Structure 1
Amino acid sequence: MEHAGRREEGTGRRLWAAPALVCAALTLSACGNIGNVGRFEQAPPTAAAAPAKPNRVVQQTPNSEREHERILSAYGGAYDDPKLEALISKTVDQLVAASERPDQAYKVTILNSGAVNAFALPTGQLYVTRGLIALASDTSELSSVLSHEMAHVLAKHAAMREDQARQAAVVTRVVTDMSSDPDLTALALAKTKLTMASFSRQQEFEADGIGVGIAARAHFDPYGAARFLTAMERNAALKVGKTALDPRAQDFTSSHPATPERISNAQTTARQYSSPENNERDRETYLAAIDNIVYGEDPSEGFVRGRRFLHPKLGFTFTAPDNFTLDNTAQAVIGVREGGSQAMRFDVVRVPAEQSLGDYLNSGWMEGVEKSSTEDLNINGFPAASATAHGDQWQFKVYALRFGSDVYRFIFAAKQKSTESERNARETVNSFRRLTLDEIQAARPLRIKVINVQPGDTVESLSHRMAGVDHPAERFRVLNGLDSHAQVKPRDRVKIVVD
């Protein structure tokens, strides 16, 4: 969670739309089916041909510069790692040479975020998070991500989406202005939304197909895409568990296809280029490059350890209730209880010093607040206030707490108000306190360490060496691409998380 001085959370009236908000905060991007791959196919360069010098100068536009700054702000800035940058640069050069447009320039920025994500701007600016890099197990998996994003640029998907969005906006405006029948209006708008979602899904399918082809012609293992998509799905399952708010559950209007469908399509495309056996994955080079990479959150922006959130830079901590999983996003700390019946949000807002916290809670930023429920409090020496609010499907308990010049909000949501949900909210807020100097000095990031498996080592024994992560055995398997029955062998090189 970023400090208010760097990024302030908006204070719109529907700040908490509980199910959608939690899903959006925890959802990983998923992408899918193969479009017209043939028009992007190109024979690999012959041995006699002199390799073209890659074009590294990306043509900036005012829009791309604004987007670049927005992306850096949202994802913790750029992550500086010369070893990784060299590996990525070499990988991109190979992919560009095998693509339909070897003259297209690309620039890759590694983002300082533990999220698993990658995206591209139409200019050729590509972005990958260090969380994605830590999850990948070899260069071929990374190449599948980069080639997928390059495919979006080559296919001009962003421009096509803009055209489609403009058409949808016109349809929406015409339907709204001309129709007096609310049912017909709703039906027309729903059809427009479905058309946009289908269009976006088809683009993801097409980018997958194009990307696998580029990677294969660049002599990377074409099955890297399917392996990495599998790792993404397993990582998402670990992050939220099997709850009603599971972000992997794709509805019909989702803009990205479900991951299992992408895996199947990626495997089908890869078979057009080779069989699964004996493809070069370049695992050793990759593991050497990612050794010691920061894993998870950057402590300077706060981090989660189990149920506890700590922010050494701002000097506070709190602990979430039992059975809650916390996720630290750029805008807020989101917590979801196993099963999805309760959720919480913690963020920072600007409240004038002269405005009381009780008045702030009743100022209209959230609908359904019971003014009569407002209560002034003192929480561990900090002035605070609480109130109750009601929604259509959720019941809320809201707290505002003044810490120095900042005001922090705890928003707790429960599908049914109960003694337990009230106790969870109260105990979490009461756990908010200052960090000690020793705690601040001890705060350091988790890192990926690459080690050799020794005789007698097992998945279970190695997972016990993992620090600061939940589900250590399952996470060890996901990080190392091991299925539920696979075991390690002496001299294998594996990733563990250390502090």
Structure 2
Amino acid sequence: MRLHAIRKIRSLFVVALAAAVVAGCAAVKPEESVREPLVPPEAPKVAPSPPTAVSQEQARIAAAYGGVYEKPDLSSYLNRIADRLTAASDRPELRYKVVMLNSPLINAFALPNGSLYVTRGLLAVANDSSELAAVLAHEMAHVSARHAMQRADEERKAVLVSRVVSDILQDQEGAAVALARGKLSLASFSRAQELEADRIGVQNIARAGFDPYGASRFLLSMGRQADLRSAALGQKPSQPGLDFLSTHPSTPERVQLAVEAARQIGAPGVGERDRDAYLTAIDGMVYGDDPSQGFARGRQFLHPRLGFSFFAPAGFTFENGSEALLGVAPDGRALRMDAAKLAPGQTLEGYIAENWVDGAAPGPVEKFQINGMDAVTLIARGRDWTFRFAAIHYGPDVYRLIFAARDLTPEVDNGFRQSIQSFRRLSQAESDAARPLRLDVVRARPGDTEATLASRMAFQDRAPERFAVLNGLAPGEPIRPGARVKVIDE
């Protein structure tokens, strides 16, 4: 979330109310989903001036995804797998470098110069070497097949056609139709690229000696993780076929096609999985939000770096997004938090009076104090939504909490007010004590079940389901004594 002033707040809760399903490259490219902490970390140093376009893009990606995640043994492991895949590929002359990003998002993508990016979130979902190899091989296929350049050409064609219709034929309506058709064609083109990359990737991991069914297992785990996230946010799970116009194929479709591609190579059981080596490599990795970016523990959000904390109303789940901290509840209530700066000479009352939601009528401004900090609040009523807007002056910044409800009953508004009143400074001891969650690899003891191992997780909500998805286990699947499994703890 960037610290910047916004004069008018438009469509604050579109993202919060329709939060995108977690996905990988596989579903989100870096320019389409960029996640930052409340205060972006310094971008990594790039080549001496003048920087190249690629180095600028590398710096932008690293900063947007919380910086580069440093775990030397894991980094070496990932790059050894990339080298093995490169040697077995159709273009062994290409060179790749895997960079880990400090983000809980499930994502992977590649730059044309051979930089392969994988997030911590993606590494946590994978369960063996062949699954990781499938992800890397898929991204390598995008580079070797020059998909980025092909997509750019298609985008230029779509825009060019619409401009010709608009500017030369002077047909605005026809231009809109032409652009819409171009976007449909582009969506289909992108889907075809993803499926081609899947097919090439499965073939490549098989040539490199990995289990070709690793691709389908990872895609299945990714889909289950997306459905689990949707359930936690009170949304319906994604349905096969409903995302036909998305830029990437639906997970069920990709799983089916990945299995078919693997069957052409051999029956299940061929190739290397090496689960132990992979689990050893990721053991101890940070899981979820890094405290330097702010993180949630249940309904509480803490930002040790900026030194504040507050609680969401009951029933909310947090999403630390790119532009703001978002929260949603299953009944449709939503919140957004971001930060801005006052203009010289501007008061909190003046600020809030000029920054309500477009299309909503603001009520009177109420002044008060929260734990020694000046604050103001007002209600803005729109046609379908009612908003509770609060601005809190903390240090040089103004923190904005905006709550939304379709029916702002006294009970609901009281929950919003209690959340605002919970905003407070963290003590130095509290900031120092903030620790990230970590992924620990443990051995199952005799008698251990999904439930007993889930009880060791640092989650109370849906713990057994989270454990099963994290480990790629079918619901109720027995766990062999001595088996190594992933748990999340503090």
Please, which of 411, 436, 460 is the counterpart of residue 451 of structure 2?
Answer: 460
1:481 lines up with 2:476 in the alignment: no
Please, which of 274, 282, 294 is the counterpart of residue 274 of structure 2?
Answer: 282
Please, which of 256, 270, 279 is the counterpart of residue 262 of structure 2?
Answer: 270
Q: Could you tell me how far apart the structure 2 residues matched to 1:460 and 1:278 are?
A: 32
The residue number in structure 2 matching 1:146 is 136
Q: Could you tell me how far apart the structure 2 residues matched to 1:136 and 1:392 are?
A: 45
Instruction: For residues 291-323 of structure 1, give each alpha carbon's deviation from its aligned partner in whole angstroms, at most 9, with x where no partner exists.
Output: 111111111111111111111111111111222
The residue number in structure 2 matching 1:18 is 13
Post-superposition offset of 1:21:
5.1
Q: Could you tell me how far apart the structure 2 residues matched to 1:384 and 1:175 are?
A: 52
1:380 lines up with 2:371 in the alignment: yes
Residue pair 2:360, 2:382 contacting (<8 A) in 1 also: no
Q: In structure 2, the residue corresponding to 1:389 is in which secondary structure?
A: strand
Post-superposition offset of 1:437:
3.5
Q: In structure 2, the residue corresponding to 1:164 is in which secondary structure?
A: helix
Post-superposition offset of 1:449:
1.0
Taking the TM superposition and a 5 Å limit, the aligned residue runs for 1:99-114 are 99-114=89-104
Change (3 A) 1:428 1:217: same
Residue pair 1:23, 1:246 contacting (<8 A) in 2 also: no
Please, which of 212, 215, 228 is the counterpart of residue 205 of structure 2?
Answer: 215
Q: What one-letter code is carried by the residue in structure 1 that aligns with 2:489?
A: V
Q: In structure 2, the residue corresponding to 1:455 is in which secondary structure?
A: coil
Residue pair 1:27, 1:248 contacting (<8 A) in 2 also: no
Comparing 131-140 and 389-398, the one that deviates more: 389-398
1:304 lines up with 2:296 in the alignment: yes
Taking the TM superposition and a 5 Å limit, the aligned residue runs for 1:339-378 are 339=331, 341-352=332-343, 354-363=345-354, 366-378=357-369
% identical aligned pairs: 47
1:238 lines up with 2:228 in the alignment: yes
Please, which of 52, 65, 68 is the counterpart of residue 62 of structure 1?
Answer: 52
Residue pair 2:386, 2:404 contacting (<8 A) in 1 also: yes
Q: Could you tell me how far apart the structure 2 residues matched to 1:393 and 1:100 are?
A: 56
1:72 lines up with 2:67 in the alignment: no
Comparing 140-149 and 434-443, the one that deviates more: 434-443
Post-superposition offset of 1:278:
4.9
Comparing 320-329 and 344-353, the one that deviates more: 344-353
The residue number in structure 1 matching 2:33 is none
Q: In structure 2, the residue corresponding to 1:444 is in which secondary structure?
A: coil
Q: In structure 2, the residue corresponding to 1:241 is in which secondary structure?
A: helix
Change (3 A) 1:370 1:265: same
Change (3 A) 1:372 1:393: closer
Post-superposition offset of 1:277:
2.5
1:169 lines up with 2:138 in the alignment: no
Gaps of 5+ in 1: 2-6, 33-59
Comparing 469-478 and 130-139, the one that deviates more: 469-478
1:137 lines up with 2:132 in the alignment: no
Residue pair 2:220, 2:255 contacting (<8 A) in 1 also: yes
Please, which of 379, 389, 394 is the counterpart of residue 403 of structure 1?
Answer: 394
Please, which of 317, 338, 346 is the counterpart of residue 330 of structure 2?
Answer: 338
Q: What one-letter code is carried by the residue in structure 2 that aligns with 1:447?
A: R
Change (3 A) 1:13 1:174: farther
Q: What one-letter code is carried by the residue in structure 1 that aligns with 2:254?
A: R
User: TM-score by structure 1 length?
Assistant: 0.87
The residue number in structure 1 matching 2:316 is 324
Residue pair 1:30, 1:257 contacting (<8 A) in 2 also: no
1:159 lines up with 2:159 in the alignment: no
User: TM-score by structure 2 length?
Assistant: 0.88
